Amino acid sequence: MKFLEKLQKVQRKNRSLLCVGLDTDPAKLPSHLRTSKGAVVQFNRSIIEATSDLVCAYKLNLAFYESLGERGWRILKETLSAIPQHVITIGDGKRGDIGNTAEQYARALYDDLGFDAATVSPYMGYDSVEPFIRLDSKCAFVLALTSNEGSNDFQRLNIGGRPLYERIVQAAVKWNTKKNLGLVIGATHPKELQPIRKLAPTLPILIPGIGKQGGDLESAVRFGTDKNGRLAIINASRSVLYASTGKDFAAAARNEALQLRDQIQKYRDKFFS
């Protein structure tokens, strides 16, 4: 199945643009789990079971697993196996290297782990992105205007009368010949979302920064979606994962995800009904 087809199908099925980031920090697990063998997998599975009917995607930040060493790779695989097949999985590693190295990164994320999509840095140009978009069943989300404060250091530099992030968006549109390339635009940049969406009307946009980072949810829905109120993937991580540090963590995560999903849908109804 083509990536866009799978994304649109799960967004319709779950009536959701919500993505939950499984950026699990062992130090932040509920105290009753910390001494358990396989605590991270147990935590992730509980979160997935509690929220999989409310989301369109899960985004796994690879750093939280790579930092665990050899067992981190096993935890990644076990976590991915717990995610229902119809839900999008995004490997958030922000990879970016010369072509032959990028091929190995793509093989690791797509062939070995089985992710549907990956986040990719476009700094080294097209050949560093191309291995991630060879198959139309896979998608590369290119970093354009990220949610962190340091995004202002380079991403807004004036390049020929346009900010660098707009040049990246224009390149992504040009490279999107198989309709499997997306953008990463932080919800912390609400004013920029509308012009970016006009430049890239048919690209899916991964929008991090909701929740703890203080991103604007209403603007993310209004300007991050396409003309039909679709093709945005709005990510929340810590606000869902750590909604409670007690034994009710899974129920609390579900409640937080449900509120976010419903608030997103409320804005979709407001702007696109």
Q: Which of 166-171's residues contact partners 24+ apart within 8 Å by CB, and which partners?
A: 166/195, 166/196, 166/199, 168/122, 168/142, 168/143, 168/144, 169/144, 169/196, 169/199, 169/200, 170/199, 171/122, 171/126
Is residue 48's pLDDT more than 80? Answer: yes
The confidence score (pLDDT) of residue 212 equals 67
pLDDT greater than 80 at residue 211: no
Q: What is the pTM of this model?
A: 0.97
Q: Residue 135's closest CA among 266, 14, 1, 245?
A: 1
> Residue 146: pLDDT above 80?
yes
Kindly indicate the confidence band of residue 104, based on its pLDDT and cuts at 50, 70 and 90: very high
> Is pLDDT at 34 greater than 90 in this prediction?
no
Judged by average pLDDT, the poorest of 5-9, 119-123, 150-154, 242-246 is 150-154
Calculate the dihedral angle through the C-alpha atoms of 135, 109, 249, 186, rounding to the nearest 10 degrees.
Answer: -70
Coil, strand or helix at 118: strand
CB 98 within 8 A of CB 127: yes
Distance between CA 191 and CA 273 in Å, rounded? Answer: 23
By annotation, the residues acting in catalysis are 94
Per-residue model confidence (pLDDT) at position 53? 98
Question: pLDDT at residue 210 above 90?
Answer: no
As a whole number, mean pLDDT of residues 254-259 equals 98
Q: What is the pLDDT of residues 223-237, one digit of tens each?
A: 999 999 999 999 999
Q: Over 90: is that where the pLDDT of 2 sits?
A: yes
Q: Is the pLDDT of residue 199 over 90?
A: yes
Q: Are 24 and 62 in contact (CB under 8 A)?
A: no
Under CATH, which architecture does the 3-272 domain have? Alpha-Beta Barrel (3.20)
